[in-house]
């Protein structure tokens, strides 16, 4: 029943998500000994216009 | 102020979401005695290509 | 693989959580036809000092 | 590393999100003294058909 | 019904959370015009041993 | 700015969390090419009395 969530910028290909699901689950089971069958993983795509750092949206050009 | 969240595969109809919102809120208020007015509920649709179990995306056919 | 989350004030008894887990899962499966086996549910207790409405913590007395 | 999340109805303009990111980050750093550089913020748009209060979707007209 | 969430290191005082709840809600309503009454806010304290950047827990001393 | 979250049963040691933070971040950067510096990771411990599958809390013995 462990649940892994990954929030990242939108635009990753299905191939990359497939590899991430496999590799992250592998890493989790290798470290914890939990069965892979019980591991869920959800990706959440976030647009650059919905993500900010230091109060600036990633969709906005840096001012310097 | 209780908050219920439901993550499920995308594709449910508005009718099903309407019924879920009603039934889940009813169940919550019946068990806890909290007023329905204070119960919020949010649905999050997840694509099969964004959800994995055992390291395999639900959008991928099972290998066996 | 549907996931239900419930955020509510801390202090509910195990008996109430047990009943909520059962009743919310029942409601979900009744409406959607999804097998109960696939339904996960997580409770998150929130202290009144960590929850605010209208900018006021629930741990603070109302000013009127 | 503080993370602020804002769930709100879909439809806000980029300008409003830009102003929110700036103002919320400013408020956070003003109160806590944390450097703005370390503050992340994510917006999640929620459709009215995915948000319910008192068991009623916001996309549905009030019955009274 | 907007919902603001703040994840930050554990250890902030009630006074600081009270001020944050007020200031963040004020900022949100000022920018959006939404009534403060509808704005919920939840704080989640995260221990330094539960938060990592670049693969290193904040509870661990930097290696350089 | 990618954010990885791991919800799992409470009780993992700091050593295991340290290894998980390192291995999950490594897997993410290996697959995506994103710099490790930008990857945040948060662990959330969940008690068995707060997690249910098929409507049954993990803290409750199976009935069969």
DSSP string for residues in D12-49: --HHHHHHHHHHHHHHHHHHH---GGG-EEEEEEE-GG
pLDDT at B63: 67
Q: Give the separation between CA F44 and CA D39, rounded to whole angstroms.
A: 20
Contact C21 F46 (CB under 8 A): no
Q: What percent of chain A has pLDDT over 70?
A: 97
Q: Is residue C63 part of a domain?
A: no
Q: How far apart (Å, rounded) are the C-alpha atoms in residues A55 and A61? A: 13
Local confidence band at D62 (pLDDT 50, 70, 90 cut-offs)? confident
Using one digit for the tens of pLDDT, what is the confidence trace for E39-53?
A: 999 999 999 999 999
pLDDT at C63 over 80: no
B40 contacts in chain E (CB < 8 Å): 1, 3, 40
pLDDT score of F41: 98
Rounded to whole angstroms, how far apart are CA atoms E4 and C38? 30
Q: Hey, are the CB atoms on E57 and F18 less than 8 Å from each other? A: yes
Position B49 in a domain: yes
Which structural domain, as residue segments, surrounds residue F31? 3-57
Sheet with F3-9: list strands edge to edge: B56-57, B51-53, A40-46, A3-9, F3-9, F40-46, E51-53, E56-57
Q: Is F40 on the interface with D (CB under 8 A)?
A: yes
Pick the more confident residue, B10 or C63: B10
Q: Do E51 and F42 touch, CB atoms closer than 8 A? A: yes
Q: Are strands C40-46 and F51-53 parallel, antiparallel or unpaired?
A: antiparallel
Write down the number of H helices and E strands in chain B: 1, 4
Question: Which residue from D7, D46, D57 is facing B21, i.e. has the nearest CB?
Answer: D57
B and F touch with 3+ CB pairs <8 Å, answer no
Cross-chain Cβ contact C6/B4 below 8 Å: yes
Answer whether residue C64 is part of any domain. Answer: no
pLDDT in tens, F37-54: 999 999 999 999 999 999
Residue F64: band (very low, low, confident or very high) from pLDDT cuts 50, 70, 90: low
pLDDT value of position B21:
98
Residue E31 has what pLDDT? 98
Return the structure tokens found at D23: 């103002």
| A61: confidence class by pLDDT, cuts 50, 70, 90 | confident
Structure confidence at residue D64 as a pLDDT band (50, 70, 90): low
D40 and chain A in contact, CB less than 8 A: yes
Residue positions of A annotated with a catalytic role: 2
Please return the burial class of C52, using the count of CB atoms within 10 Å of its CB with bins 0-12, 13-18 and 19+: buried
| Token output for A36 | 């892979």
Determine whether the interchain pair E21/C55 forms a contact, defined as Cβ–Cβ distance below 8 Å: yes
Residue in chain A closest to C39 (alpha carbons) equals: A1
Which of D50, E57, A63, B61 lies closest to F19 in space, CA to CA? E57
Q: Give dist(CA E46, CA E41) in Å, integer.
A: 16
- Region E25-32: what's the mean pLDDT? 98
User: Is A43 part of any domain?
Assistant: yes
Distance from CA of B47 to the nearest CA of C (A): 12
Mean pLDDT to the nearest integer, D29-57: 98
CATH of the domain at B19: 3.30.429.10
Q: Do E17 and C54 touch (CB under 8 A)?
A: no
How many folded domains does chain F comprise? 1
């Amino acid at each position: 029943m462990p649940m892994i969530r990954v929030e990242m910028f939108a635009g990753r290909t299905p191939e990359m998500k497939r590899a991430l699901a496999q590799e992250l689950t592998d890493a989790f089971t290798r470290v914890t000994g939990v069965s892979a069958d019980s591991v869920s993983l959800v990706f959440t795509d976030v647009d650059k216009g919905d993500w900010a750092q230091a109060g600036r949206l990633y969709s906005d050009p840096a001012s310097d």
